[in-house]
Amino acid sequence: MFETLRQSLKTGVVTTSYPQTPPDVSAHARGRPEIDWANWKDARPAAAICPTGAIEFSAEPAGRSVTLDLGKCIFCGLCADVDPAIRMTSQCELAANSRHRLRHTARYQLNDDGTQRGLPAVPATARANAESIAPAGRQLQARIRSVLGRSLHIREVDAGSCNGCEVEINGLNSPVYDIERFGIHFVASPRHADMLLVTGPVTRNMELALRKTYDAMPAPRLVVAVGACGCSGGIFGQNYATCGGVDAIIPVDVYIPGCPPNPHALLHGILLAIGRLPSGAPLQKRSAGGAAEDPGAV
């Protein structure tokens, strides 16, 4: 025991100061692909090699529509290998509070050989919230206390993941990230939870269990879909064994892209979810598609 104490004193504080400071991510870490939209000549090679359909195009009367869907992207880098207009970055703060905000679309005119030209406008790229994350971090504990009491409780559900996301979620409890410094705790029962953190595509075997877990949570309740699989079905998609993304089964408040998202990305998504909590009235009950339902409706 004394040797452990000695080593602890020698090592000192190792906990990151995120979100007061930018995430300390390795330059070699895989994050959001960045596209040079204005000079992108041909989306077809990248779309053909993408294993999840994160890059896709469709013909239009006036040209071609090209979409990058970060909710499907697994950050494999294959698109960057075949297309000089794409490069991989280490940006990880990509969480969004709606599915469409993860999709970025540009429309091009075409040359005779099928290459692209005449981009009317460069689409908005994925970025952290316009509001700085640092103020959000400083206000987090006060926000939790005002809405939920003294702390926020999270129930994590593996709906069919490969466990890559679970490894990163476990890191949140390490001394480096120390999620409990915000008053956030993981709990074993959904009856004690304020937030549901769901990983993996929802398998057919877990569909009923996920619904029951959601129904057992008291209001107000939040749902965060973790990773490409949770956002869209990821590499598994929708098939005989899986239902696809989490929002196919229960309503989702925040989507965290990545395969898997690192702890900084998870913290960013949780902070974003906290910002969506109502200050007074409980959340409206919503359908799996995300639309609000009339509380008085049968």
Strand order in the sheet with 254-256: 184-186, 152-158, 195-199, 222-226, 254-256
* AA identity, residue 207: E
- Asked whether 106 and 63 are in contact (CB, 8 A), the reply is no
Contact, 268 vs 93, CB < 8 A?
yes
Residue-wise pLDDT tens digits, 92-138:
999 999 999 999 999 999 998 989 987 766 776 534 443 445 555 55
Q: Looking at residue 120, what is its pLDDT?
A: 65
Q: Is the pLDDT of residue 149 over 60?
A: no
Cα–Cα distances in Å, from 261 out to 49, 133, 215?
A: 22, 17, 26
Q: How confident is the model at residue 10 (pLDDT cuts 50, 70, 90)?
A: confident
Query: Do 105 and 121 form a contact (C-beta atoms < 8 A)?
Result: no
d(CA 248, CA 214): 13
Whole-number mean pLDDT of the chain? 84
Question: pLDDT (tens digit, 9 = 90+) per residue, 23-75?
Answer: 888 888 889 999 999 899 999 999 999 999 999 999 888 789 999 999 999 99
Q: If pLDDT is split at 50, 70 and 90, which confidence band does 147 have?
A: low
More confident residue, 164 or 285: 164
Mapped onto helix, strand or coil, the DSSP state of residue 105 is: strand
The reported pLDDT for the residue numbered 286 is: 43
Average pLDDT estimate for 167-172: 95
- CATH architecture designation of domain 133-275: 3-Layer(aba) Sandwich (3.40)
pLDDT digits (tens, 9 = 90+) for 178-214: 999 888 999 999 999 999 999 999 999 999 999 999 9
DSSP state of 246: G
Mean pLDDT of 11-21: 83
| pTM for the full predicted model | 0.83
The pLDDT of residue 268 is above 80: yes
Say which residue the tokens 């020698």 belong to: 10
